[in-house]
Amino acid sequence: MIGTIRSRTLTLVAVAAGAALLGTAVPAQADLGAPTRTDTRTVTRSPMPAPRLVDISTGRHTTFDRVVFKLRGDSPGYTVGYVRRVRADGSGNVVPLRGKANLLVRLTPADAHNSAGAPTYTGPRHIYPGYPQLREVAFVGDFEATVSIGLGLRHKAGFRVFTLHSPTRIVVDVAH
């Protein structure tokens, strides 16, 4: 009986220690500080079938604002860079954004609709988070296997882009 109790106690202590370590472990992207690079970032990938955009979310952090694009399927490629004007895919019409700088995110290949043409992204076309840097997120296109999103920013600042998995997400952080 004492051996069983001691064994259970050791097991519980080991489980608690493991949980404590897991609870204090910092994810690889969690504490990177403010991004500093402003050059365009491009990553080429060719998933088949094209992943589908299902959600856009935002978050405010101490030194940066974050936009997360959640997708169903494998990771798409992307191009993220500053542009003078954001234009709607297909029509080419200018999409005015709040702020003094425009960051354009293009996910490719990617769709925001299914094979029947029904939208897979059903969220708002414009999000106004009111963060220190991020003023607006605008869904501006789902055209020829490219999904485009414009970010209206308070000013031009450093940014970073990375991919997360399970579920697939493309993350854009912009410094305050």
pLDDT for res 10? 37
Cβ atoms 71, 53 nearer than 8 A: yes
- Angstrom distances, CA of residue 111 to CA of 2, 17, 51, 84, 154: 61, 44, 6, 25, 29
In this structure, what DSSP letter does residue 153 have?
Answer: E
Per-residue pLDDT tens digits for 133-155: 999 999 999 999 999 999 999 99
- Any idea which fold 41-175 has? Immunoglobulin-like (2.60.40)
Distances (CA, A) of 56 to 53, 82, 128: 8, 19, 12
Summarised one tens digit per residue, pLDDT across range 31-54 is 678 899 999 999 999 999 999 999
Bond before 49 cis per omega within 30 degrees: yes
Question: Residue 24 pLDDT more than 50?
Answer: no
